Each structure stands twice: as C-alpha cells, then as structure tokens.
Structure 1
Amino acid sequence: MDSKLEQVKLKYQQGQVLLDRGQYRSSVQTLEDAKSLVNLSSKLGGEVQLSLVTAYQGVDKLDDAIALCEELTRHPNLAIRQQSQRILYILKAPQLKRPEAWMTKIPATNSEDNPTPRYVQAKPATKPMKTSSLDLEDITQMDTKDNGFIGLALGLFIIIIGGLIWLS
C-alpha cells in the first residue's frame, strides 16, 4: 500500500478518535493534515472532509463548516454529495434560543478566589453518517412484527391498579 495513503488513513482514524472524544481542536488539526494529503475527489477524501465539517462545528467555526459542506455538495461521489446535503440542511437550520434553565452553571477556573458562574453547553458530538443499504424511506426492510410489549405493559398496569384497589 502507498505510504501517503497509509498516512491519510492514520490521520483520518486519529481525527475520528479525537472527534469521538470531544477533542475538537485537536481533531480539526489532525483532519486538516489528512485533508492536505488526500485526493479530495476520492471517497476517502470526501469522508475526511465530512469529518472535518463536524469538527469545525465543534469548535464553533460554523462558517467554515458550511463553506466546506457546500463544496462537498459538488463532490464526485454520490454518497458524499447526499450526506453533505443533509448536513448542510442541518447546519443552515435556524438556531433556537435556549432557556437559561437548560444551561449548567460551572464556576470559572481562572480564579479560585472569585468563582463566577459561566454557562456551558455541550458541543455537538455528531459523526458523519455512514452509508448503509437500509434507506430511511424504505421501511419494507424493517422488522415491524409486534413483539408484545404493549400487551405486557397494559397487563402490568392493570395488575398494579388492581393491587392498589385491593389494598385500599
């Protein structure tokens, strides 16, 4: 196997691991290194760039993520184009205002004498979607047979209510 291709695959895997761990800054650097080594019009090049879109989103570089995703909508590989279109739709969606109650107050670590609360929100930990033979619109391949869960839950509910009535 070609040495350059091995380097790309190694950098891509390292970038994915960093991305999965939430180490977005390191992931951006590693994936940018992989991007500089790979043929951007190859499938692997598209996958590296899709991961980079997610890493950009993690470090609040939304404009860079959108720009790269828009480039990927013209990628030669159909799966990469479709995936980038889905991601682009999500990236361009309007951001909702989050109530303060949804945020977690964490004391600032810059000064122990004067801990002032700051608001922290988790970064998205999304991974590029993997292509599979099961399409979201094709439910004919899904197992839709009844597994009896509702009947069991209803039976337990009736037993509990009956027990409560009997005890009172």
Structure 2
Amino acid sequence: MSSENLEAAKVQYQTGKAAFERGAYRQSVQCLEKAASLVARNTAFGGEVLVWLITAYEAAGQRQEAIALCETVSRHPDYETRKQGKRLLYILKAPLLKTRPEWLSEIPDLAALDESEGNKGGTSYPTPAKRPSRPRPQPNPEPIDLSQVNTKDNAFIWVALAAIALTIGSLLWFS
C-alpha cells in the first residue's frame, strides 16, 4: 500500500468518525467505506476502520451489512480486532426486546413552537414552593458551673509518653 493511499484512508477515516459523532450516519458509512477500500484490511488500522464501519452500518439501519462485515472481522488476523468483531457480532445477533407503550414516555416536539407566541395559551407554570427555614438551635442559656468540672489529671499523657519512649528506646537498642 502506498503512503498516499494510507494518508487518504486516514483522512476518510477521521471524516467518517466525525460524521458518525455528529449523527450523520449515511455520510459516515460512505467515508468509512472509502477508507476501507484504500487500506489493507488485514492490518490493525484496517481492522479499526472495519469496526467503525460496522458501527456506522448499524446506526444507519443497515443491519444485514453490519452482520456480514462483522462475521468477516471476527476472523481478522489482529487479536484485538477479532475480539471486537466477535463482541459486536454477539450484540448484533441478539434478539430485539419488545417494549410496551406504557413503558415509554412521550416527549412532545417543541421545535414547532414559535418563540414569538410567548405564553398565549394562558398556561402558567407553577413556581416552586419555598421551603420553610429550619429553626436555629439556641445557645445554652445556662452558664456552666466550673466548680463541678473534673480538673484532676488522669495520667493518660504520662502513660502515652512512656509507651513512646519505650518504643523508640527498643528501636534504637535493636538496630
């Protein structure tokens, strides 16, 4: 494969990916098909182009082409490409789940709504209710009697300091 073909394939590949990410699936299929025709299919880059082409086929509604290409990619010489091909084939051949209408929420199309119409329909949108503020806790009104506070030393500090000194001393002794 010549370097011009490889560069053209990379350009078509990037264009196809960008079109796919924008939602232009048919354009993505066209660009990725051109890239696949320009690149050697048994290379890792060729496999990557084919995997994107499978995804674009599925997004464009060309499921049979996606499955046929997926079966080819699942026998690709590159291990990662072959693994992706097998995973995609498993997904594409999975049975479609049926959904009931009551499981779905219908979202109205607001594209036809003219901004100049404003609120002519007389509908008013409720304002959110304000939450009542929580009462703040009052500070303790009773003063603390300091004569009842235990101020005696419980010797914990001295025990902790002795334990630390013994630990450091034993580390120095055994090192």
- Shorter-chain TM-score tier: 0.5 to 0.7
Q: Deviations over 1:1-52 (max 9, x none)?
A: 8111110011101111111111100000000011111101111111111000
Aligned to 1:4: 5
Show structure 1 runs of 5+ residues with no match.
Answer: 110-162
Q: How does 1:1-168 map to 2 (within 5 A)?
A: 2-100=3-101, 101-102=104-105, 104=107, 106=109
CA positional deviation for 1:103: 5.3
Q: 1:57 to 1:33 in 2, by over 3 A?
A: same
Q: Deviations over 1:52-94 (max 9, x none)?
A: 0000001111111011000001101000000111111111111
| 3-state SS of paired residue (2:31) | helix
TM-score normalized with structure 1 length:
0.60
Aligned to 1:141: none
Show structure 2 runs of 5+ residues with no match.
Answer: 113-133, 138-175
Q: For 1:102 and 1:62, how far apart are their aligned partners in 2? A: 26
Opposite residue 46 of structure 1, the aligned amino acid is G
Opposite residue 63 of structure 2, the aligned amino acid is L
Q: 1:103 to 1:59 in 2, by over 3 A?
A: farther
Opposite residue 85 of structure 2, the aligned amino acid is S
Opposite residue 39 of structure 1, the aligned amino acid is A
| 3-state SS of paired residue (1:40) | coil
Opposite residue 87 of structure 2, the aligned amino acid is R
RMSD of aligned alpha carbons: 2.4
Aligned to 2:145: none
- Stretches (4+) displaced over 3 A: 102-107
Q: 1:103 to 1:35 in 2, by over 3 A?
A: farther
Identical pairs, percent: 44
Opposite residue 33 of structure 2, the aligned amino acid is E
Q: For 2:79 and 2:108, how far apart are their aligned partners in 1? A: 44
TM-score normalized with structure 2 length:
0.58
Q: Deviations over 1:113-150 (max 9, x none)?
A: xxxxxxxxxxxxxxxxxxxxxxxxxxxxxxxxxxxxxx
Q: 1:75 to 1:98 in 2, by over 3 A?
A: same
Q: For 2:48 and 2:106, how far apart are their aligned partners in 1? A: 33
Q: For 1:92 and 1:102, how far apart are their aligned partners in 2? A: 27
CA positional deviation for 1:97: 1.2
CA positional deviation for 1:98: 2.5
